[in-house]
Amino acid sequence: MSLTIAGRPIAHFASLPELTRLALGFIDGGREWVGWASTSTTDRFDVPDDTQLVAQVQAGLHISPFALLPALGLMVSPVKLMTLGLIDLGVLRDAEDGADTTLADTQVQRVLAAHRLLTQADLQATQAWLHELQVDTAPVFQAIDFRDRLALHELMSDPLLAGSKPIDNEAAAFAVAQARTPVEFADYFRMYVLASTTLPPDSSPAQRGARATLSMDTLLPLFFGDLDCPQVAPLAAPADVAAAVSLWQAGGQQVGFSRLSEGPALLMRHTFYESQTGVAARQMVKAYVQKAQQLISQVRPTRGRMGQDGLTCTFQLHSPSGDERAVLQLSADGTISLRDYGLQRKQTDLPIDPNPAPAATAPQSLVSDELEIT
């Protein structure tokens, strides 16, 4: 045979497992390609597993990781689709085939929410939001890709911003002035909102801007040494990710952040940082990063959540006590970075404040919220 998977000959499309057939059915030309490849007399195709087959067929036919489900307005990697399971994948197939009932629509919405899949409508909402903030024409947004839209959608949906609407335009203007990518825009937007929570409610825009600028100028240089990350092959198995992280830390290195602005935004979110400078700021950064590294060294990543692009994956790590949570992210190029670290649940104080203050003085938004990562 001309097509083999892990050494197993594939005689025809029906020889494939049902889940693989379903995923290939979402690729325009996928079923036909398998039929051609399995009978070709001039070409031979050997793939290590069904996931790689689906990924390579999608990329080979369309030069994109995304399959298009036009009826749902959904672009999603068929590799991600394979993680949905037969039942949920069948729901999407039926919807694409024309099922149009209230029950079918309810089931589709359940599947999309359960697997954190964003449709065209979800992603387009970010553009309307940027327009509302009067920054949609800013140069930083001139070439937005899926990753950028995802970051903006996460920002829009962030519970941290539930009470920030009165200053959202200020935060957007600040973020546009500082960011060089849409993903950084989300970081600086959060920095502005978080800096503002440390001021009295009657503070002025000038005071809020000055506080955000001070925080940014203080923290960014303190994270220069926290950007190195271990690396593995793209879409590595959890065991390979765990091994790479262990080896990295055994060599005295820390799992860093994917970009400079990410660390300060997370520190401001999860600690009692109130624009401290000098030694106090350095101590807070050191304590925050060290606590994150301790959790990473204690808990191995065992199960990941694949992103909609089928190329990225996140691993949630929970401390034995359940109080702390870290998130590692495996990027499309195999880089493993620290995506988040903080408390898993509400607490009266945080374990990473080198000079603890009474809990009542901490802004509640820094203590109680939990960011969902996809």
What Cα–Cα distance (Å) separates residue 299 from each residue in 36, 213, 227, 235, 315? Answer: 46, 36, 21, 20, 11
pLDDT number for residue 43 = 85
Cα 359 to the center of its chain, rounded Å: 30
Rounded Cα gap, residues 115 and 108, in angstroms: 11
Q: Which tokens sit at 151?
A: 């970051």
The pTM of the full predicted model, rounded to 2 decimals, is 0.89
Q: Which tokens sit at 123?
A: 């992603």
pLDDT in tens, 123-147: 999 999 999 999 999 999 999 999 9
Pairing of strands 3-5, 45-47: parallel
> What is the mean pLDDT of each successive set of 10 residues along the chain, which is 374 residues long?
87 92 96 92 90 95 96 96 96 89 87 97 97 97 96 95 91 98 98 96 96 98 98 92 97 97 98 96 97 97 94 95 94 97 59 40 30 34
Query: Which sign does the torsion angle of CA 235, 240, 246, 250 carry?
Result: negative
Rounded Cα gap, residues 175 and 196, in angstroms: 14
In three-state secondary structure terms, 106 is helix
Rounded Cα gap, residues 283 and 281, in angstroms: 5
Q: Which tokens sit at 337?
A: 């970075």
In three-state secondary structure terms, 20 is helix
Closest of 62, 66, 94 to residue 80, by C-alpha: 66
pLDDT number for residue 101 = 74
Closest of 225, 248, 244, 249 to residue 234, by C-alpha: 244
pLDDT number for residue 87 = 96
pLDDT number for residue 1 = 53
